[in-house]
Chains A and B, each alone.
Chain A
């Protein structure tokens, strides 16, 4: 099961606990239980967690509520109103970032702010891995392939670098 998030191209407005959604083509109204599901899709929860939360609010009918919520989440996914969030919130290169090679190292430049960040050789490997994939496992594997004798702290170091680059604006959450 993966974490659900609201589809980026779906605009939403709330009024008195109901939600109006529009993606430029289809207009949808979510009321009552459907609106409660929508409120819980915030990029941090899986469908099963949402179903469990709402079932708790209806202890006398929990099984049916859970099944209905799971069906509804599947329907929202099918209609692309919600999408699966990237695992572990892996980041994407920001649109306004350029980079140049310098031997085995690299220099990142934020074209909006002028901020620069030099990457070591290993940092460059991480950067190039994130350019090709936003899946954590794939990024880690590419880095391990480049450094087969890396210490056990590799995963932590990669995560720390990604976190720094995100904080500095060179990467953005997907």
Chain B
């Protein structure tokens, strides 16, 4: 029987056969289990190029799950948290380096929350975890080589690696309330020295808005919601060519909160 999981509180099950079903069970180990009978069936297309279609399915599942949290601030971001529940969000478009930073922050002993969509309540700043498998694109596979999928998953691997969160290291998600603490907007430029700019609330709100989904549905209004979050959360834009330097800076800045 297929298993069922929750993504942002919405229950789904995967309709797939044999080894592919087992692969999904490994990938979704970070998601809370769900009642199979109540779960919406999400069907994976019969694989011709199994790896890329599996990655596409996980991306589609992410989009489907966002409907369940309509009204929240949905940032295109990775996120990790500390043992006290304070959350660091790494926000940016594809290629900005957020997945690499998220994986490395997790490896440094923090709890992985997501690498794709940070779901933030615009009033309480509470963060809902979405521990989907981390997607490691070709550009990040060099520095994250230690996350290369194991032999049991190789038949389903395409151009990007899908890595279950239990392989990232880090700590379990604390049972305490998870609350937004700091936002970083990274830009990766090879060879560029680290530079950091603290953002004004308006600039931070703008950067969040342009890296968000379903902004029009934000509870309390898009502009008011973005500014409410931005006024209460320190935000920084960093440009770097060295992930270690970026991670080190982020940890030090975050520790000062």
CA distance A32 to B201 in the complex (A): 14
Instruction: Show 8 residue pairs from A and B whose CB-CB distance is below 8 angstroms, ordered by the A residue.
Output: A12-B223, A13-B224, A13-B227, A20-B223, A22-B209, A22-B215, A22-B223, A29-B203
- In contact, B202 and A15 (Cβ under 8 angstroms): yes
- List 7 A-B pairs, minimum CB-CB distance, nearest first: A18-B202, A29-B206, A27-B209, A13-B223, A15-B202, A15-B201, A22-B222
Chain A residues lying within 8 Å of B200, measured Cβ to Cβ, are 15-16, 18
Chain B residues lying within 8 Å of A19, measured Cβ to Cβ, are 202
Determine if A60 is an interface residue (Cβ-Cβ < 8 Å).
Answer: no
Q: Beyond A22-B223, A27-B222, is A16–B210 a contact (Cβ under 8 Å)? A: no
Most-contacted residue by chain B among A16, A22, A24 (CB, 10 A): A22
Please encode chain A, from 17 to 35, with 1 for each CB lying within 8 Å of some chain B CB and 0 for all others.
0111010100111010000
- In contact, B227 and A20 (Cβ under 8 angstroms): yes
Q: Give A27's nearest chain B residue, CB to CB.
A: B209
- In contact, B202 and A20 (Cβ under 8 angstroms): yes
Bin chain A's interface residue count: 10 to 19
Please encode chain B, from 200 to 232, with 1 for each CB lying within 8 Å of some chain A CB and 0 for all others.
111101100110000110000111101100110
Q: Give B226's nearest chain A residue, CB to CB.
A: A20
Determine if A161 is an interface residue (Cβ-Cβ < 8 Å).
Answer: no
Residues on B lying within 8 angstroms of A by beta carbon are: 200-203, 205-206, 209-210, 215-216, 221-224, 226-227, 230-231
Q: Which secondary structure characterizes the binding site on chain A?
A: strand
Q: Which secondary structure characterizes the binding site on chain B?
A: helix
CA distance A18 to B227 in the complex (A): 11
- In contact, A20 and B205 (Cβ under 8 angstroms): yes
Chain A residues lying within 8 Å of B230, measured Cβ to Cβ, are 15
Determine if A11 is an interface residue (Cβ-Cβ < 8 Å).
Answer: yes
CA distance A31 to B200 in the complex (A): 10
Chain B residues lying within 8 Å of A18, measured Cβ to Cβ, are 200, 202-203
Q: Beyond A15-B200, A15-B227, is A24–B210 a contact (Cβ under 8 Å)? A: no
Most-contacted residue by chain A among B202, B206, B231 (CB, 10 A): B202
Q: How far in angstroms is the closest Cβ of chain B from A32?
A: 11
Chain B residues lying within 8 Å of A31, measured Cβ to Cβ, are 202-203
CA distance A11 to B218 in the complex (A): 14
Q: Give A15's nearest chain B residue, CB to CB.
A: B202
Among A11, A16, A24, point to the contact of B201 (Cβ < 8 A).
Answer: A16
Most-contacted residue by chain B among A13, A18, A19, A27 (CB, 10 A): A27
Q: Give A16's nearest chain B residue, CB to CB.
A: B200
CA distance A18 to B202 in the complex (A): 6
Q: How far in angstroms is the closest Cβ of chain B from A50?
A: 21
Most-contacted residue by chain A among B205, B221, B230 (CB, 10 A): B205
CA distance A16 to B227 in the complex (A): 11
CA distance A31 to B206 in the complex (A): 11
Chain B residues lying within 8 Å of A28, measured Cβ to Cβ, are 206
Chain B residues lying within 8 Å of A11, measured Cβ to Cβ, are 221-223
CA distance A22 to B218 in the complex (A): 13
CA distance A69 to B102 in the complex (A): 42
Q: Give A30's nearest chain B residue, CB to CB.
A: B202
Within 8 A of B (CB), among A3-18: 11-13, 15-16, 18
Chain A residues lying within 8 Å of B231, measured Cβ to Cβ, are 15
Q: Could you list 5 further interchain pairs (A-B, Cβ under 8 angstroms) beyond the known A11-B221, A13-B227, A27-B222? A: A15-B200, A15-B205, A16-B200, A18-B200, A29-B203
